[in-house]
Chain A
């Protein structure tokens, strides 16, 4: 899959936040919002443009769990495995979703780049446990069956999350 990057947009992001080392994290966040991950080509571009060593940027990008260096699917499914969700049986949901999409912890993204399945430690919505999000839209009180249904609807194109 050939992916061209718009370095002009990266320039704009750097300008907006200020070309200083202290703004690196916010710049990386903006890039990730755009691409759902941090493409290596863009990190290399930022390193040159901001005069920060590439190893330093890699250091920051790997330090924070929230940054991803691997491309993600169009739909990002997050299944909460915080204490509240866990005791209300979030693991069976996770297992069902992974089975259904043929992904695992090591390989969280489907080959067709449609879905990425992740766990999170707490979404801060414990009252709605077990919680799942699809591209940041929250689905409360989930069950494995409800998750299946949701994914099927996305696959059919009914869900515009």
Chain B
């Protein structure tokens, strides 16, 4: 706590962990490549340099504020310094900006423009490195890497994986998986957070929009799209709509304009997941099943468990398929029951890069055909909307298509935020189905941004201990604690991405407070939906009686590894 002087302005600082945060609080947009408030400070890019009283140059991200400190953020020396750094970064950077998938959202491009780098005096004499396209979810192009280490730190610190790291040193320094393995051969879980934090096009999400356009153009294909809960509160970011605003209606309209035959809401199949998962949970309670029970919606978490904790697969982890796959199965059955002769193409719009991997899993492929043909990210959808020239912000709302036009219940919608799955299951298991009960559940402790949350609920005459965790490094802590017997939980919800699917790598990139607005958007939607409980969703009867019939186990559950 104290005061410092930034460019002559007297600024108060309190909790800020470095002067970069104080400078930004003062309304000055300091440039950075390697700084994220949620990751450890690395201090490598040197873009956030400031000049101290003695004319010395320091990196703002790794300098603590001191009372009475006087700094300047924009002097000729600093300008020259920043420009030189950019020029040097560009000297070894491939410069095919116009064809780069990060064109328009690349930080290197943005800062080069902002600091007026007009020419690069140095020749790029590096031999071209091989692009890695082996992953189902992400593409790594080492020629565009600026060695900021953001991907290395997010993978290690948030996911506890460390799939990629620096190798060699000096001018040979590079970021790579161990032994230059292809990503598909590593234990990468496809969460895509490395791509989300990458300031350039060095790590990007696999682009499959072309495939989608081809399906839409083909009259022999019946293209059916489902939209995940978290997408509706993030897509607007790409079109200047207020953060966290629910744009489901506009999204449906845009998809219809592109030629999609039917648009459904994954929140509906999230209700199915709640029904199945709550039933599974209560069945375990009654028949002495395995505890803790882990949720199974997050494909990155499933892959992580397969790699690191195979003992949890097909035992502790719920056998429920993810909402995307459940809806896939329902859509497939529904299509078979209809008299539509066209080939079904089931597409999912997801906040997630790991869903691309999940869709391709052998467990979800029948006779060589995937249940979900294509899983596109929120950002890919935004790209398609722009390509089509649709003025998204101006669009009228359109309703979902029959027969699933009811959409999801409030419980299904909150699946998109950390704690949502747990809250939905608690609602389902709760004996009291009044609106007062819904309010009470809201405050048991499953909501909020905390990385590990605990809650106790009372149902069926006893207490249940619930844990909600996001980030796989945090999940590992919880798993270890339960396995050591340090703590006990009945139900554990795991989401790999920060704050759950709203922070998914397929979303427009955001850190809190913007990300928190997405959570608020989902909770607000829940409040406005009359139906709060999954089993009260009238579509459930229709789906169970008319489509699934006696095939619930076959269509909605999975045994991994088969």
Contacts and interface: CB of A to CB of B under 8 A. Distances in A.
Interface stretch (A49-57, A115-123, A133-141): A49-57
Contacts of A58: 165, 167, 176, 178-179
Contacts of B167: 55, 58-59, 62-63
A62 B163 contact: no
Contacts of B164: 55
Contacts of A155: none
Contact of A53 (B156, B168, B169, B176): B156
A55 B162 contact: yes
B161 interface: yes
Interface string A36-77: 000010010000000011111111001100000100000000
B163 A40 contact: no
Contacts, number: 41
A43 B165 CA distance: 15
B169 A63 contact: yes
B165 A59 contact: yes
B166 interface: yes
B169 A57 contact: no
Size range of the chain A interface in the assembly: 10 to 19
Contacts of B163: 53, 55
Contacts of A54: 162, 178-179
Contacts of A52: 162
Contacts of B156: 53, 56
Nearest to A58: B178
B165 A40 contact: no
Size range of the chain B interface in the assembly: 10 to 19
B404 to A, nearest CB: 43
Nearest to B167: A62
A97 to B, nearest CB: 26
B161 A53 contact: yes
A61 to B, nearest CB: 9
Interface string B137-172: 000000000000000000010000111111111000
B242 to A, nearest CB: 40
A5 B428 CA distance: 54
Nearest to A43: B178
Nearest to B163: A55
Nearest to A69: B179
Contacts of A63: 166-169
Q: Which of A40, A53, A54, A57 has the most CB of B within 10 A?
A: A53
B274 to A, nearest CB: 35
A105 to B, nearest CB: 15
Interface string A20-48: 00000000000000000000100100000
A40 B180 CA distance: 12
Q: Which of A52, A55, A59, A69 has the most CB of B within 10 A?
A: A55
Interface of B: 156, 161-169, 176-179, 186
24 contacts: A43-B178, A52-B162, A53-B156, A53-B161, A53-B162, A53-B163, A53-B165, A53-B178, A54-B178, A55-B165, A55-B176, A55-B177, A56-B165, A57-B178, A58-B176, A58-B178, A58-B179, A59-B166, A59-B167, A62-B167, A62-B168, A62-B169, A63-B167, A63-B169
Given A58-B176, A62-B167, 12 more contacts: A43-B178, A53-B156, A53-B162, A54-B178, A55-B164, A55-B177, A55-B178, A55-B186, A58-B167, A58-B178, A59-B165, A69-B179
